[in-house]
Amino acid sequence: MPAITEPKLISGNANLSLAKAIARRMSMHRGMSQKLVDARVERFNDQEIFVEVYENVRGEDMFIIQPTSNPANDNLMELLIMTDALRRSSAARITAVIPYFGYARQDRRSKARTPISAKLVANMMVEAGIERVLTMDLHAAQIQGFFDIPVDNLYASPIFALDIIHQLRDRLGDVMVVSPDVGGVARARELAKRINAPLAIVDKRREKPGEVAEMTVIGDVSGKVCIIVDDMCDTAGTLCKAAEVLMEHGATEVHSYISHGVLSGPAVERITNSVMKSLVITDSIEAPAPVRNAPNIRILPTAPIFAQAILNIWNGTSVSSLFDNETLSPIYEGIL
């Protein structure tokens, strides 16, 4: 069905730079100016969130760009309150563009008497009036089933594949993709297929959350340029330890490609002092100055793929087509 309304973008405070970049990319694709809807998202003195939309949005196709990253609760509430403001202003459809979906790690009951917070967050979003979700690299793919509305889950691996082919084009024959744990094998295999590389696994055992007791490498990494791939990096303890273990097993270089750079606590210092040659993350979470200034951290843009996905949703065309190199390569031409 052809689009009869214009796509309109509105952003909270979580990642305003990404929202502006998406608007710029959409302007390029459409050949016309695409700006963020004029609004204010502020806090009262007691930290209550207040939203006011200055433009008419009646009957419009609205896209709220708001990752629920740190501070997760504040950014989640901003998303819900913006949704309520748009719904009460008679927007035709509200799509939440959530580059990083917070609470995704709480996707099951790992112990007795624990919550499934990801399901609770999904219920809150639907109840607030969100009619569609666009996100990237959910921690667990089954979270899509927590929603009773359409969820489009984009993948960073096609972007990573393009970057690896560009950065390591002279040594692709020596590249080996490594999963930092058994649970991430499917994600690592997907990237390995895209660059036609073999796969290894680092098996880790935890004594308690945040601490890794033992690591074993499954596969021969000697003489290989190892690419660790994962969906998120928090304190970077596991990532740095995995890089050390790979180097001890004969790897010539270790690079890491992580979809979401949470990078809390001592993460940046650990990465700067680690044996990793580079850590590559996306801009799904707005990077603070220490991350941007770190010598061995690079940030890949997600605005091109999100802009095209938003346009495809607005036009009613395929979002999964963006997973193919033939479709994605022109979007990222001249960027990577």
Is 269 flagged in the annotation as binding? no
> Taking a C-beta distance cutoff of 8 angstroms, is the pair 267, 240 a contact?
no
| Pairing between β-strand 132-136 and β-strand 151-154 as defined by DSSP bridges | parallel
Paired residues of 175 in beta bridges: 225
Cis peptide before 158 (omega within 30 of 0): no
**Contact assessment for residue 287 and residue 258, using Cβ atoms and an 8 Å cutoff:** no
Q: Which of 204, 208, 224, 241 is catalytic?
A: 204
235 annotated to a ligand binding site: yes
The residues with which 233 forms a beta bridge, in sequence order, are 261
Structure tokens given for 32: 């016309």
111 an active-site residue?
Answer: no
Ligand-binding site membership of 163 (annotated): no
Which of 118, 26, 99 minimizes the C-alpha distance to 259?
Answer: 99
46 is in an annotated binding site: yes
CB 335 within 8 A of CB 28: no
- Residue 144 assigned to a binding site: no
Establish whether 282 is an annotated binding residue: no
Is 237 among the annotated ligand-binding positions?
yes
The contacts of residue 68 (CB under 8 Å, 6+ apart) are 14, 75, 76, 79, 98, 100, 101, 102, 103, 121
Task: Consult the annotation and say whether 230 binds a ligand.
Answer: yes
Q: Would you say 118 is a known binding-site residue? A: no
User: Is 260 annotated among the ligand-binding residues?
Assistant: no
Spatial distance between the Cα atoms of 87 and 76, rounded to a whole number of angstroms: 17
- Give CA–CA dist 287/293, Å, rounded: 10
Report whether 173 belongs to an annotated binding site.
no
333 marked as part of a ligand binding site: no
Can you say which residues are annotated as belonging to the binding site for D-ribose 5-phosphate?
Answer: 206, 230, 234-238
Can you say which residues are annotated as belonging to the binding site for ATP?
Answer: 46-48, 105-106
Positions marked active-site: 204
Can you say which residues are annotated as belonging to the binding site for Mg(2+)?
Answer: 139, 181
Can you say which residues are annotated as belonging to the binding site?
Answer: 46-48, 105-106, 139, 181, 206, 230, 234-238
